[in-house]
Amino acid sequence: MELRVLEYFLAVAREQNISKAADYLHLTQPTLSRQLKDLEEEFGKRLFIRGKRKITLTEDGVYFRKRAEEIVSLARRTEEEMKNPNDFVAGDLYIGAGETDAIRHVARVVTGLQQEYGEIGFHVVSGDKADLTERLDKGLFDFCLLLGEIDRSKYECLDLPFRDRWGVLMRKDAPLADRKSITPEDLWNKPLIISRQMPDSTQFMKWLGRPVSQLNIVATYNLVINASIMAEEDMGYVLLLDKLINTEGRDLVFVPLEPEHTIGMTLVWKKYQLQSKAAEKFLAAFGSYIDG
């Protein structure tokens, strides 16, 4: 299995058409078709369903696409880093982050590095903890900015002096919208929209004072913009962190929880990981930023 063949596969998966993918890759259509057939024969699995006008991925093809994207991404990163001289600070910095207003602090540090060195690219991928740590473990991220509890046996950790406050996002005409704060009891019989990883948070479920089975959870989310739209459409009350949704000009209101419930955050990276020059500079600069 060669890297170029993985890139051929990804081009076809993206274009959903052999002819268009061949044009993009500057290959003849028969050559590309042969490469794909050889790939399927190598694994003994069917990766594509070939229609008259459109190619779609099989279940095995969807799985292989994810793995191929990871392999190609890691190979490209390694190639870029190896080409840089040892004393030259350049390259791309990859950070996975939960949705938090604290990402602004990361951005400030990176902006300073870019002004000083000019050759550092910055890439942020949002997601929940499970998705982010999986990619960090595979070497696709330099760092992750994670919320809540951390498995410190697996990662090097830098605890950050920032905390996000939980609250409820709802329509302005909702029965609880005029409250100054929301208590657990206020939510026990309400339709709730929660983060998909919230049931795994023992601290938050302890605050709610009810097991998941006794709550009226009507929907879950992993991106807050989608959750805010569900709130606007009167699906229910969204439990989320403050400062993520600008309610100005929208038919929404954010009300904090009472007793106040906050969540801390940690910058993590793999133990024993060999870091790029850009990652080393970022970690040093971010540490100084926090201490200062």
Radius of gyration in angstroms for the set of CA atoms belonging to the chain, rounded to a whole number: 23
Mean pLDDT across 122-150 = 90
Cβ atoms of 181 and 207 within 8 Å: the answer is: no
**Going by C-beta distance under 8 Å and a sequence separation of 6 or more, which residues neighbour residue 102?**
145, 160, 162, 164, 265
% of the chain with per-residue pLDDT over 90 = 51
Q: Residue 86 pLDDT > 60, yes or no?
A: no
CATH class of 163-262: alpha beta
Mean pLDDT across 169-173 = 97
CATH architecture of 82-162+265-291: 3-Layer(aba) Sandwich (3.40)
Integer Cα distance of 285 and 281 in angstroms: 6
Residue 235's pLDDT is 97
User: Which residues is 156 bridged to in the sheet?
Assistant: 269
Structural fold of domain 3-79? Arc Repressor Mutant, subunit A (1.10.10)
Pairing of strands 120-126, 252-256: unpaired
Integer Cα distance of 255 and 257 in angstroms: 7
* 3-79 and 163-262 have identical folds: no
Mean pLDDT across 122-133 = 90
Residue 241's pLDDT is 95
Pick the residue with more confidence: 215 or 117? 215
% of the chain with per-residue pLDDT over 70 = 96
Residue 90's pLDDT is 64
Q: How do residues 1-30 score in pLDDT, each as one tens digit?
A: 788 888 888 988 888 888 888 898 888 988
Crossing angle of helices 3-15 and 59-83, in 10° steps, is 130
Mean pLDDT across 158-166 = 95
Q: How do residues 39-85 score in pLDDT, each as one tens digit?
A: 888 989 899 898 877 888 999 989 888 888 888 887 877 777 666 65
Q: Residue 89 pLDDT > 70, yes or no?
A: no
Integer Cα distance of 36 and 29 in angstroms: 11
Mean pLDDT across 154-174 = 95
Residue ranges per structural domain of the chain: 3-79, 82-162+265-291, 163-262
Q: How do residues 232-283 score in pLDDT, each as one tens digit?
A: 999 999 999 999 999 999 999 999 999 999 999 999 999 887 788 889 899 9
Mean pLDDT across 162-190 = 97
Exposed, middle or buried by CB within 10 Å (0-12, 13-18, 19+), for 84?
middle
Q: Residue 185 pLDDT > 60, yes or no?
A: yes
Q: Which of 192, 168, 175, 183 is nearest to 242 (CA)?
A: 168
DSSP 104-149: HHHHHHHHHHHHHHS-EEEEEEE--HHHHHHHHHTTS-SEEEEES-
The Cα angle at residue 64 between residues 58 and 68, in degrees rounded to 5: 140
